[in-house]
């Protein structure tokens, strides 16, 4: 058994360069770094290859962040690297249209079930912001509805979290930090996730709602049953005359080649993309019904909205994305293999927790997974308790010390580069780390 203090001391001894970078950084850079463990400093990554990353001190880790979910093929995939190199030799940024856009547009058009038209932007945040604007422009309505526990990016429209004191069926909302105008609150409704009360709210507010947006699978709470709720939600929106968008920024090209739409058999009016679509470079995209997407044709168009951006559709991203998506299209066997790997990991961790009476569980939908430190069932983020925060932080520190990196957001992923040996090692490390936390009596 390793105690938490021993694990921390080992990790500190091996990461002195990261410590020096952290000290230097604190003088200049204000941005916070999300952490799921308690260390005097974070580790800084220098390079990545396949399923692995190396930190500034040269320590190797199995990476379960894979760029916050975007490296579906692992780090430095040779086809993506070759595409980036080839494009860079021709110049990489022109602003005006290039010959590189059509390849990726055609791939996305074919892969996304709702995509009669495609618009590129530069991040998932931009994509959901544009989808909201498009729905408002098209419908002439201003209110939108999002779900309890969702994340759709950093723009003001998405910065609302559930007020924990509000009733389950009628979630109240609080701004996520300061700087979000209170006036916007009246235009955003929060709906309860995986709860039929949401359908009644949509029906009751149908005349005012421009859009209902939902993640294909909530990354904060990946539930195997996400599809049933999605299908019913789509039907309620359709019957109520409210536009419906699936945010596929994480699920697109991950839970299936055609994303949550394909996996769960549901076609929304709009879908938003990012992450995997860009092959590791910044990207966002909106796809949808042709009549609705017409709003993007410009301010002169019927119901036209403004969209645009210096880097939108830039050739380097387009080529990297086309290489990544093209590879996924040519290798459909990746998806069942990754689904089985994700299930094997979750089954092994959950079986271990049950056998040892450890109050923890892993939730997964295929290759996206998330650990929760409680035994109680989790329908939505409302059910997550903070009772085992100390155990949770200790677990992630033990895992890091054993060479497994789980991102501070706790949203973890496998990539096609994670083979059976990496999954075996993840199981070993997670089980050993849970056992250490239990042996030290850190679970409540
Ligand atoms: C479902 C979802 N939508 C939107 C975003 C925002 O994407 P980006 O970070 O590229 O702005 C994220 C980011 O994690 C996401 O998970």
* Strand-pair partners of 60: 54
Cα of 440 from ligand 1 centre, angstroms: 37
* Separation between Cα atoms, residue 317 and residue 330, nearest integer Å: 20
Cα of 193 from ligand 1 centre, angstroms: 18
Which member of 52, 61, 130, 151 is catalytic? Answer: 151
* Separation between Cα atoms, residue 394 and residue 283, nearest integer Å: 35
Pocket test for ligand 1, best of 66, 69, 70, 124 (most atoms within 8 A of CB): 124
Quick check: CB of 215 below 6 Å from ligand 1? yes
Quick check: CB of 214 below 6 Å from ligand 1? no
Query: Tokens at residue 192, please?
Result: 């309860």
The pLDDT of residue 148: 94
Segment-wise mean pLDDT, segments of 10 residues, the chain, 444 residues: 96 96 88 82 95 98 97 98 98 91 97 97 98 98 97 97 94 96 97 96 98 96 91 98 98 98 98 98 98 93 92 97 98 98 98 98 97 90 89 97 95 98 98 98 94
Cα of 227 from ligand 1 centre, angstroms: 20
Torsion over CA: 195, 129, 100, 414 (sign):
negative
Helix, coil or strand: residue 137: helix
* Separation between Cα atoms, residue 386 and residue 374, nearest integer Å: 9
Q: Which residues contact 274 (CB under 8 A, 6 or more apart)?
A: 70, 123, 124, 127, 249, 252, 283, 284, 285
The pLDDT of residue 385: 86
Q: Are 217 and 226 contacting, i.e. CB atoms less than 8 angstroms apart?
A: yes
Cα of 213 from ligand 1 centre, angstroms: 13
User: What are the strands of the beta sheet with 284-288, ordered from one edge?
Assistant: 117-121, 284-288, 270-273, 243-247, 209-215, 143-147, 188-191
Quick check: CB of 65 below 6 Å from ligand 1? no
Domains of the chain with bracketed CATH = 80-330 (3.40.640.10), 333-360+371-385 (no CATH)
The reported pTM is 0.97
- The residue whose CA has the least distance to atom 2 of ligand 1 is 152
- The residue whose CA has the least distance to atom 3 of ligand 1 is 152
CA angle 370, 433, 430 (to 5 degrees): 40
Cα of 7 from ligand 1 centre, angstroms: 33
End-to-end CA distance of the chain: 19
Quick check: CB of 98 below 6 Å from ligand 1? no
Q: Is 61 a catalytic residue?
A: no
Quick check: CB of 128 below 6 Å from ligand 1? yes
Cα of 21 from ligand 1 centre, angstroms: 27
The pLDDT of residue 147: 97
The pLDDT of residue 359: 97
Q: Are 247 and 216 contacting, i.e. CB atoms less than 8 angstroms apart?
A: yes
Q: Is 275 a catalytic residue?
A: yes
The pLDDT of residue 80: 98
Nearest-CA neighbor of 153 among 174, 182, 123, 133? 123
Pocket test for ligand 1, best of 71, 218, 275 (most atoms within 8 A of CB): 275
Q: Are 115 and 287 contacting, i.e. CB atoms less than 8 angstroms apart?
A: yes
CA angle 227, 243, 140 (to 5 degrees): 160
Strands 243-247 and 209-215: parallel
Pocket test for ligand 1, best of 250, 282, 321 (most atoms within 8 A of CB): 250
pLDDT tens digits for range 160-191? 999 999 999 999 999 999 999 999 999 999 99
Q: Which residues contact 179 (CB under 8 A, 6 or more apart)?
A: none
Cα of 300 from ligand 1 centre, angstroms: 30
Quick check: CB of 250 below 6 Å from ligand 1? yes
Cα of 248 from ligand 1 centre, angstroms: 9
Quick check: CB of 152 below 6 Å from ligand 1? yes
Which member of 273, 275, 335, 339 is catalytic? Answer: 275
Which member of 55, 63, 148, 247 is catalytic? Answer: 247
Helices (H), 185-331: 197-204, 226-240, 259-264, 290-293, 315-330
pLDDT tens digits for range 21-69? 999 988 888 877 788 888 889 999 999 999 999 999 999 999 999 999 9
Helix, coil or strand: residue 413: strand
Q: Are 191 and 169 contacting, i.e. CB atoms less than 8 angstroms apart?
A: no
Residue holding tokens 């092959």? 279
CA 346, distance to chain mean position in Å, is 18
Quick check: CB of 321 below 6 Å from ligand 1? no
Q: Is 329 a catalytic residue?
A: no
* Separation between Cα atoms, residue 188 and residue 209, nearest integer Å: 9
User: What are the strands of the beta sheet with 45-49, ordered from one edge?
Assistant: 45-49, 52-55, 60-63, 404-405
Q: Which residues contact 100 (CB under 8 A, 6 or more apart)?
A: 87, 315, 318, 319, 322
Nearest-CA neighbor of 312 among 81, 86, 91, 93? 93
């Amino acid at each position: 058994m390793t105690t938490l203090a021993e694990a921390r001391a080992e990790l500190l001894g091996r990461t002195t360069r990261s410590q020096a970078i952290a000290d230097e950084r604190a003088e200049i850079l204000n941005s916070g770094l999300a952490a799921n463990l308690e260390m005097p400093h974070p580790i800084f990554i220098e390079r990545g290859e396949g399923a692995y990353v190396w930190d500034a001190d040269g320590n190797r880790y199995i990476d379960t962040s894979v760029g916050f979910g975007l490296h579906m093929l692992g780090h430095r995939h040779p086809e993506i690297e070759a595409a980036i190199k080839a494009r860079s030799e021709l110049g990489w940024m022109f602003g005006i249209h290039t010959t590189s856009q059509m390849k990726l547009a055609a791939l996305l058009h074919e892969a996304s079930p709702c995509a009669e038209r495609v618009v590129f932007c530069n991040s998932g945040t931009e994509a959901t912001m544009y989808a909201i604007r498009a729905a408002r422009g098209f419908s002439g309505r201003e209110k939108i509805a999002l779900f309890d526990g969702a994340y759709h990016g950093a723009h003001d429209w998405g910065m609302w979290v559930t007020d924990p004191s509000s009733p389950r069926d009628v979630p109240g909302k609080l701004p996520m930090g300061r700087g979000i105008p209170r006036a916007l609150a009246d235009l955003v409704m929060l709906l309860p996730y995986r709860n039929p009360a949401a359908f009644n709210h949509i029906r009751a507010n149908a005349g005012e709602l421009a859009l209902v947006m939902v993640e294909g699978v909530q990354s904060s709470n990946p539930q195997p049953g996400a599809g049933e709720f999605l299908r019913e939600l789509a039907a309620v929106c359709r019957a109520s005359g409210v536009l419906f968008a699936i945010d596929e920024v994480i699920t697109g090209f991950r839970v299936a080649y055609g994303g949550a739409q394909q996996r769960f058999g549901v076609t929304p009016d709009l879908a938003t993309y990012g992450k995997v679509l860009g092959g590791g470079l910044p990207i966002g995209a909106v796809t949808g019904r042709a009549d609705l997407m017409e709003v993007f044709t410009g301010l002169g168009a019927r119901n036209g909205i403004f969209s645009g951006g210096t880097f939108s559709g830039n050739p380097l991203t387009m080529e990297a994305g086309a290489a990544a998506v093209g590879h996924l299209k040519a290798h459909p066997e990746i998806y069942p293999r990754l689904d089985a790997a994700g299930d094997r990991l979750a089954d092994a961790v959950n079986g271990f927790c049950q056998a040892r009476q450890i109050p923890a569980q892993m939730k997964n939908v295929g290759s996206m997974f998330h650990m929760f430190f409680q035994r109680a069932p989790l329908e939505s983020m409302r059910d997550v308790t903070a009772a085992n925060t100390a155990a949770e932080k200790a677990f992630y520190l033990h895992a890091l010390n054993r060479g497994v990196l789980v991102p501070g957001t706790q949203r973890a992923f496998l990539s096609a580069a994670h083979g059976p040996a990496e999954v075996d090692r993840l199981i070993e490390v997670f089980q050993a780390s849970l056992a250490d936390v239990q042996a030290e009596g850190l679970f409540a």
